Amino acid sequence: MKSSVANSVWQPSCDRDGLRLRAQLLAVTRDFFASRLVLEVETPALAPATGTDPQLAFFATQYRAGAEQQTLFLQTSPEFAMKRLLAAGSGDIYQISKAFRNGEVGRFHNPEFTLLEWYRVGFDLSQLMDEVADLIACWFAPYRALLPTERISYSEVFKRYTGLDALCFDLEAYSAYAFSQHLTDAIRLCGQEHSVWLDFLFSHQVQPQLGAHCLTMVYGYPACQASLAQLNQQDARVAERVELFMQGIELGNGFFELTDADEQERRFEYEQQVRQQQDLPLVAQDAKFLAALQSGLPACAGIAIGLDRVLMLLVEKESIDDVLSFSHHRI
Amino acid sequence: MAIYSTNEFKGGLKIMLDNDPCAIIENEFVKPGKGQAFNRVKIRNLKTGRVIERTFKSGETLEGADVADIEMQYLYNDGEYRHFMMPDTFEQYQIDDKTVGDCRLWLKEQDICIVTLWNDAPLAVTPPNFVILAIVETDPGVRGDTSGGGGKPAKLESGAVVRVPLFVQTGEIIKVDTRTGEYVSRFKE
């Protein structure tokens, strides 16, 4: 007993400065939104439904009260609940909350992490991108000067670093490129799936180059990676989705939000099919969220940013563990 | 043999890849917020010593390799094989020059080395980090030089050639770092 106590590392993963700077980051963030009259909200971390994205593994838990039993899921993001608030007429809202993703551990991942998510009613994607740039500038001002923000479309940045057309899947060209770059694993892993090819090539060849000394915003994702974004009105091959990168690290993901309940339901059903094919656990689609969309989600843009990674960049740490009070390895 | 999934890939883990025993050096979890998760893994092929980078989908598995690093004492060279012994069991292994590799340049009888066994067959030999060896041949030094600057080549009793300071002479015994092949100091008993 004595030795097991002596061997267990009880100390925090980050130093005292880490604690203090996190508090400062939260304070600056709350000031930023207060000054713009965006309302801070809280939504449940536990709910009977959650996202169906096959790429996200959730935590399930059991609620028990006498004979009453219910499976509740720790939320992978507060998106559905916040959209229900928007549909109910909340106006502009933001939330700083924990999000939970099962099995995600690494230098940039912790299964429980802090997410800043906000929605702006009446904003389009480009107005939201302006606000993101303001907020990031606000965060970095006390630390260091950044070069001007870079905005580039997905297909342009993909072409720049791979020479390939992201919007038109040409297996032969993609394979030849992977071969030339000694990335032959791609051929085995991606097969005929355009979206997996994009994920592979983007994460290996494009992302590490992004945002060396500035914030880089990549917008206009291929439609097969639309997630919960609307498709572009002029070009249906492109989704109104934006991702943020600094020093090759993905910081956030935003959408001009899909408001069409039928289209949302189709995307849910497609994701459920994929879950079934891949033998992944099934989850009930969020009927209350769909009902809220049906009653009418105002046109809005929203984005979620991982605050732990922002803190990593601000204080120049190599691992997410260095900015968490107790990382996964220390809980 | 055990099966390991990508989330169990940690530095030092020995796995089979393309029918060769390999050691994981580094494993990075790469996952976009929306999209496929990958593990980018740096791997050393234990047969060839080559380091390669491979990507797996998260959750893929590889078979473990029955590889063990064992401390053994170097006994002697019979011209064809070098003979090593496990100090506690006195069990002996004979290892050919190809497997011993560059390690042979540092071998001195009775030194303790690490012998890597794969399915009980020798795969590689790693010399001790520091070895104490006599200089068998070096040019006479320049009088008065006591610094480490400059230097000259010196051949050691084991066959290795290292750069030593000018004041170090033939017949002297020196300490060498085998990882860098660099002279550390003169050795005094």
| pLDDT exceeds cutoff 50 at A311 | yes
Q: What local confidence, expressed as pLDDT, does residue B151 receive?
A: 86
CB contact under 8 A, B32 and A202: yes
| pLDDT exceeds cutoff 50 at B182 | yes
* Interface membership of B81 toward A (CB under 8 Å): no
Residues of chain A with Cβ-Cβ distance to B31 below 8 Å are: 55, 104, 106, 109
User: Which of residues B142 and A236 earns the better pLDDT score?
Assistant: A236
As a whole number, the mean pLDDT across chain B is 91
* Interface membership of B31 toward A (CB under 8 Å): yes
* Interface membership of B54 toward A (CB under 8 Å): yes
Q: What local confidence, expressed as pLDDT, does residue A285 receive?
A: 87
First to last CA, chain B: 47
State the complex-level ipTM.
0.89
Compute CA A246 distance to the chain's CA centroid, rounded to the nearest angstrom: 14
Residue A324 is encoded by which pair of tokens? 């968490």
Mean pLDDT over A299-311 rounds to 98
pLDDT band at A31 (very low <50, low <70, confident <90, very high): very high
Q: What local confidence, expressed as pLDDT, does residue B141 receive?
A: 66
* Interface membership of B76 toward A (CB under 8 Å): no
Mean pLDDT over A94-114 rounds to 96
Q: What local confidence, expressed as pLDDT, does residue B146 receive?
A: 58
- pLDDT digits 0-9 by tens, A165-223: 999 999 999 999 999 999 999 999 999 999 999 999 999 999 999 999 999 999 999 99
Residue A61 dihedral angles phi and psi, to the nearest 5° = -140, 165
Q: What local confidence, expressed as pLDDT, does residue A8 receive?
A: 78
Mean pLDDT over A29-56 rounds to 96
Q: What local confidence, expressed as pLDDT, does residue B91 receive?
A: 94
Closest CA–CA distance from residue A7 to any residue of chain B (Å): 21
Q: For B37, which of A55, A195, A198 is closest by C-beta distance?
A: A55
Q: Residues of chain B with pLDDT > 90: what percent?
A: 78
Give the Cα separation of A282 and A51 in Å (integer): 10
* Interface membership of A109 toward B (CB under 8 Å): yes
Give the Cα separation of B116 and A26 in Å (integer): 52
Closest CA to A32 of A144, A129, A135, A131: A135
Please, are residues B64 and B3 in contact by the beta-carbon 8 Å criterion? Answer: yes
Q: Which residues make beta-bridge pairs with B186?
A: B174
* Interface membership of B29 toward A (CB under 8 Å): yes
* Interface membership of B5 toward A (CB under 8 Å): no
Per domain, the residue ranges of chain A are 9-42+76-149+214-323
pLDDT band at A105 (very low <50, low <70, confident <90, very high): very high
Closest CA–CA distance from residue A221 to any residue of chain B (Å): 11
Angstrom CA distances, A244 to A147, A216, A235, B147, B171, stand at: 15, 6, 22, 55, 65
For testing the chain A interface, which of B10, B30, B56 should be mutated: the one with the most A CBs within 10 Å?
B30
Q: What local confidence, expressed as pLDDT, does residue B1 receive?
A: 75
Residues of chain B with Cβ-Cβ distance to A55 below 8 Å are: 31, 34-37
Q: Which residue has the tokens 């508090």?
A: A23
* Interface membership of B30 toward A (CB under 8 Å): yes
- pLDDT digits 0-9 by tens, B117-141: 999 999 999 999 999 999 999 988 6
Q: What does pTM read for this prediction?
A: 0.85
* Interface membership of A224 toward B (CB under 8 Å): no
For testing the chain A interface, which of B26, B34, B51, B55 should be mutated: the one with the most A CBs within 10 Å?
B34
User: Which of residues B33 and A116 earns the better pLDDT score?
Assistant: A116
Question: Parallel, antiparallel, or unpaired for β A216-222 and A150-153?
Answer: parallel
Residues of chain B with Cβ-Cβ distance to A189 below 8 Å are: 38, 55-57
Size of interface A-B (CB pairs under 8 A): 62
Residues ≥6 apart with Cβ < 8 Å to A81: A43, A44, A47, A75, A289
First to last CA, chain A: 19
pLDDT band at A1 (very low <50, low <70, confident <90, very high): very low
* Interface membership of B51 toward A (CB under 8 Å): no
Residues of chain A with Cβ-Cβ distance to B30 below 8 Å are: 106, 203-204
Q: For A106, which of B28, B32, B35 is closest by C-beta distance?
A: B28
| pLDDT exceeds cutoff 80 at A3 | no
Question: For the structural domain made of A9-42+76-149+214-323, what CATH number should be given?
Answer: 3.30.930.10
Q: What local confidence, expressed as pLDDT, does residue B142 receive?
A: 62
**Residue B106, SS3 per DSSP:** helix
Q: What local confidence, expressed as pLDDT, does residue A4 receive?
A: 56
As a whole number, the mean pLDDT across chain A is 95
Q: Cα torsion at B145, B149, B154, B158 (round to 10°)?
A: 120
Residues of chain B with Cβ-Cβ distance to A250 below 8 Å are: 32-33
Closest CA–CA distance from residue B111 to any residue of chain A (Å): 34
Residues of chain B with Cβ-Cβ distance to A102 below 8 Å are: none
- pLDDT digits 0-9 by tens, A44-88: 999 999 999 999 999 999 999 999 999 999 999 999 999 999 999
Q: What local confidence, expressed as pLDDT, does residue B32 receive?
A: 87
